[in-house]
Amino acid sequence: MAEKRYRTVLLAVSIVLLMTFGVFSGCRKEESAEFTGFSMDTVISVKLYGGNSPDSVLQDVSGIFTETEQVLSRHIESSPVSALNRGETVAGEKWFITLLSKNLYLSEETDGLFDPTVGPLIDLWSIGSGNEKVPSEEALADALSHVSYERVHVSSENITIEPGTVLDLGASGKGAVLDRVRDFLCGTDTKGAVVSAGGSILLYGSKNGSRDFTVAVRLPDGGTSDYLGVLTLQETCVSTSGSYERYFTEDGVRYHHILSPESGFPAETGLVSVTVVYPDGTMSDLLSTAVFLLGEEEGLKLLYGHQAEGVLVTEDGRVIVTEGLKDRFRLTEEGYTLEVYEGIR
């Protein structure tokens, strides 16, 4: 008799378990893991959805950030970039060589209006250090004389730069790490991710069954939760360059951190912020800086040539979106007018 009871209970319990399992397997609220930290001189935030071990994937992603910083940082003496800037020949990893190649390619494409060898300029202005002042003409001329992307030589295995040249990859570092993270995630069972590296965003996969993500564009000169508008996007990367991010003021004039390799001064092209949407993170980062440096007309042509999408904000309150974002951008702030750029006819 006891045996019968046991069997009965076993049967009842297994039914209940089966039903609970059934209900929960249907639920689409996925496992997710989050992480916010500081790396590569900026705030990092990672959100992962789905997969069996999001926490371990999170750790690996964090490792990728650290590793990338070890390669790109000019503050780290042992980094390949620092070694290059000292005149050494460096055998680079594949991703590093690709990164440099993209930088050089864009420099050629813009005839040097964008240039990654602006190290001397950046050091001269040292915006963000606290004791900035406008440099003298001679100092500027001297720094400019060392700026030339043609002095960087990249082969399929190693890189050298001519003496006096100083590389600064700040305009593409964040985008590059996003590409590395995305490539890593592809090899995991993670279903979706949202990664933010200092305002450059990686959108990957899907979240809770939906492939749409929302990315807000911060209002120039606004606080952290003040938005200009919201983009609805699927898997891609987003980068923004703005004159409001880092600057100092002297005698009532604002000097921002996006320095022109031509004039040596902060670029004055009538733009306040440029947001670029492009599947390749490195390129989205590079293009956002390049478009800012080129200005509205040439910048939009550059985007069109790359089939990239973007949102430009001008000093006179106009918000220009490329055609592909026409139905994907919602302007939420008042006082701006929306225009659509329809490409070269």
Partner 1 sequence: MKEYVKRGDLVILIGVLVLSGLLYVPLLFSRGGTVAEVLSDGEVVERIDLDSVNEPYTIKIRGSVILVEPGKIGYLESDCPNGECVRFGMLSRAGAAAACVPNRTMIRILSANREKDGPDAVTY
Partner 2 sequence: MKNGRLNARNIAYYGIAGTLAIVLSMLESVLVPYIPGLPPGAKPGLSNVVVMLLAATGQTAGLLFPVLMKSIFVLLTRGMSAFLMSLSGGILSAAAMILMHRAKLKSIGEAGIGIVSACMHNAGQLLVSFFYTGTAALIWYLPVLLLFGAAAGLATGIFTAVLLPHARRLAVLFRKESGSSFTT
Site residues (vs partner 1, CB under 8 A): 28, 45, 47, 194, 196, 199-201, 203, 206-207, 209-218, 224, 227, 230, 238-240, 242, 245, 275
The site string for partner 2 over 75-114 (x = CB under 8 A, - otherwise) reads ----------------------------------------
What residues contact 73, with CB distance under 8 A and at least 6 apart? Answer: 40, 41, 79, 81, 82
Q: What is the CA radius of gyration of the chain?
A: 24
Whichever of 152 and 286 has its CB closer to partner 1, that residue is 286
How many degrees, rounded to 5, is the angle at CA 67 between CA 65 and CA 68?
Answer: 65
Whichever of 7 and 326 has its CB closer to partner 2, that residue is 7
Q: Which does 107 bind (CB under 5 to 8 A by kind): partner 1, partner 2, none?
A: none
**Total number of residues that touch partner 2 (CB under 8 A):** 16
What residues contact 77, with CB distance under 8 A and at least 6 apart? Answer: none
List the end-to-end C-alpha distance of the chain, in Å, as a whole number.
Answer: 88
Cβ of residue 24: shortest distance to partner 2, in angstroms?
8
Cβ of residue 285: shortest distance to partner 2, in angstroms?
36
Count the Cβ atoms, other than its own, within 10 Å of residue 19: 10
Name residues contacting partner 2, limited to 191-220 (CB under 8 A).
209
Q: Which does 19 bind (CB under 5 to 8 A by kind): partner 2, partner 1, none?
A: partner 2
Cβ of residue 266: shortest distance to partner 2, in angstroms?
52
Q: What is the DSSP letter of 219?
A: P
Q: Which does 15 bind (CB under 5 to 8 A by kind): partner 1, partner 2, none?
A: partner 2
Nearest CA among 283, 327, 270, 278 for reference residue 307:
278
Backbone angles phi and psi of 138, in degrees to 5: -65, -45
The C-alpha atoms of residue 283 and residue 151 are separated, in whole angstroms, by 21
What residues contact 136, with CB distance under 8 A and at least 6 apart? Answer: none
Whichever of 11 and 91 has its CB closer to partner 2, that residue is 11
Q: Which does 242 bind (CB under 5 to 8 A by kind): partner 2, partner 1, none?
A: partner 1
Cβ of residue 292: shortest distance to partner 1, in angstroms?
14
- Please check whether residue 143 is in contact with residue 120, taking contact to mean a CB–CB distance below 8 angstroms: yes
Strands, E assignment, 187-317: 192-197, 200-205, 213-218, 227-233, 236-242, 247-250, 253-256, 271-278, 309-314
Stretch that binds partner 2, among 2-10, 138-146, 283-291, 335-343 (CB under 8 A): 2-10
Cβ of residue 46: shortest distance to partner 1, in angstroms?
11
- Please check whether residue 238 is in contact with residue 282, taking contact to mean a CB–CB distance below 8 angstroms: no
Cβ of residue 194: shortest distance to partner 1, in angstroms?
5
Cβ of residue 225: shortest distance to partner 2, in angstroms?
32
Cβ of residue 141: shortest distance to partner 1, in angstroms?
33
Q: Which does 216 bind (CB under 5 to 8 A by kind): partner 2, partner 1, none?
A: partner 1
Cβ of residue 172: shortest distance to partner 1, in angstroms?
16
22, with CB counted inside 10 A (0-12, 13-18, 19+), is: exposed
The site string for partner 2 over 5-44 (x = CB under 8 A, - otherwise) reads --xx--xx--x--xx--xxxxxxx----------------
Whichever of 6 and 38 has its CB closer to partner 2, that residue is 6
Q: What is the DSSP letter of 30?
A: -
The C-alpha atoms of residue 64 and residue 164 are separated, in whole angstroms, by 30
Interface ranges with partner 2 (CB under 8 A)? 4, 7-8, 11-12, 15, 18-19, 22-28, 209
